[in-house]
A and B are shown apart, each in its own frame.
Chain A
């Protein structure tokens, strides 16, 4: 109750502080005057009497300071005076102030931008249906200098696609550019090459037309293309009659079979989606140039998928001709020998024991599936809190007598 009462008093006295200051001065003056009079009665000279009185009273300013601290709300008053002080200094150094403001603005802006990226890549779930079942398929190569992960080769695509037990859909993709001619200015939009299965794995239905079918992948069939929403809007003004039209891409006519919806996102923000065609007869084991993506069958865990890929690696090794210069026997021998250590390394690194023989130094290679989570991984930095506040004046806070 007492505390509340004091707080209220402090709040009200804050408003009347100028007048209080005057009264306080008068009160102290009177105190000193009375002391002087007393000293005069004791027989001191007028000058000495006044001097002694002042000495006894002590520092008026120090007492006022203590008094003020108790009377008002020193924290808020200090804040106000600090702010005023800071603003005054900023006005005196406009170029420095501008530099600081620009730095802060850039810093805050960059943090916001990075957070927005992190948020869309790492925090928010992928904008695909049942995104938790989407995995990227790549291989960890242990013991090979300079090569730590191996994506998928075309031969793997065929084996994995046909022999797997854990994927509902599987496909491989790559990005590059493709020149478009014959429509206004020639240009080189970003192109995404996908095998049949990639869009099915992602599961985003086209806005217009259809997805690629297995026929689009087959060499010799009519060539086709899909557009993403942004490109369709920009280049064709959202013309719905686009499906069925022919575009000249890389000097070859391709029929537009569909347009992806606005919400569709993929790495490197493609504008065109083209079917990836592999000639089955001409494939060797190695050519790890394609990214694998798969949708797991319902109920299949990452571990089961890893085991499945490990098994598929064995199948693949025996199903395809080795690249010229690398005898299959060497690959098989190495892969067999590598099995033990690979299994151990696999457990340690949460990878599994598929073993791929690589080149002459081939050690064990483990296989893993990664959650498809986009490629850039960055961490937002925390801004360090401001340290010393040099503008803060030292404030006296003498010990007060408390009953």
Chain B
């Protein structure tokens, strides 16, 4: 299970949650945090991360500002907007809902249905 790529559709949710928990971050920080939180089980592909960031920004869920990085260079910091917070809540609910249903299916045994 090591170094699994992030599943389709879940990366945006992870980005939103990371920004929600940690506040403004640059692209590198987001990627590292997602990998850390997953216990290094996930590898974030930059080729998908930056397009997702762009899409979220275009949709207004996140905004970005230029600031100084740890190395004291120019970096782009992404932060969650109010709309992004709402979207995160909605998607988290929907994800939990889906997860519950899938869980029930896995737990189902033949005798339960008789």
Number of A interface residues, CB 8 Å? 32
Contact B55 A70 (CB under 8 A): yes
Instruction: Identify which of B12, B46, B58, B66 contacts A402 (C-beta below 8 A).
Output: B12
Complex CA distance for A35 and B8, rounded to whole angstroms: 24
Q: Which residues B24-81 have CB closer than 8 A to chain A?
A: 26-29, 31-32, 45-48, 50-52, 54-55, 58-60, 66, 69-71, 73-76
Whole-angstrom distance between the alpha carbons of A31 and B75 in the complex?
A: 8
Contact of A403 among B9, B50, B66, B69 (CB under 8 A): B9
How many A-B contacts at CB < 8 Å in the complex? 95
Who on chain A is nearest to B14 by CB? A403
Residue of A nearest to B64 (CB): A27
Name the B residues within 8 Å of A5 (CB-CB): 58-60
What secondary structure prevails in chain A residues at the interface with B? helix
- A165 at the binding interface (Cβ < 8 Å): no
Q: Is the CB of A33 within 8 A of B27?
A: no
Q: Which residues of A contact B31 (CB under 8 A)?
A: 31
Residue A401 is within 8 A (CB to CB) of chain B in the complex: yes
Q: What residues of A have a CB within 8 angstroms of the CB of B51 in the complex?
A: 63, 66-67, 70, 400-401
Per the CB 8 Å criterion, the residue count for chain B at the interface is 34
B52 touches A403 (CB 8 A): yes
Asked if B76 contacts A59 (CB within 8 A), the reply is no
**Distance in Å from the Cβ of B22 to the closest Cβ of chain A?**
15
Point out the residue from B9, B26, B27, B58 that lies within 8 Å of A401, measured CB to CB.
B9
Residues of A within 8 A of B55 (CB): 6, 70, 400, 402
Contact, CB under 8 Å: A34 / B71: yes
Lowest 6 A-B CB distances belong to which pairs?
A403-B12, A401-B48, A34-B28, A9-B58, A31-B28, A401-B11
Task: Spell out A's residues near B (CB within 8 Å).
Answer: 2, 5-6, 9-10, 23, 26-28, 30-31, 33-35, 37-38, 56-59, 62-63, 66-67, 70-71, 398-403
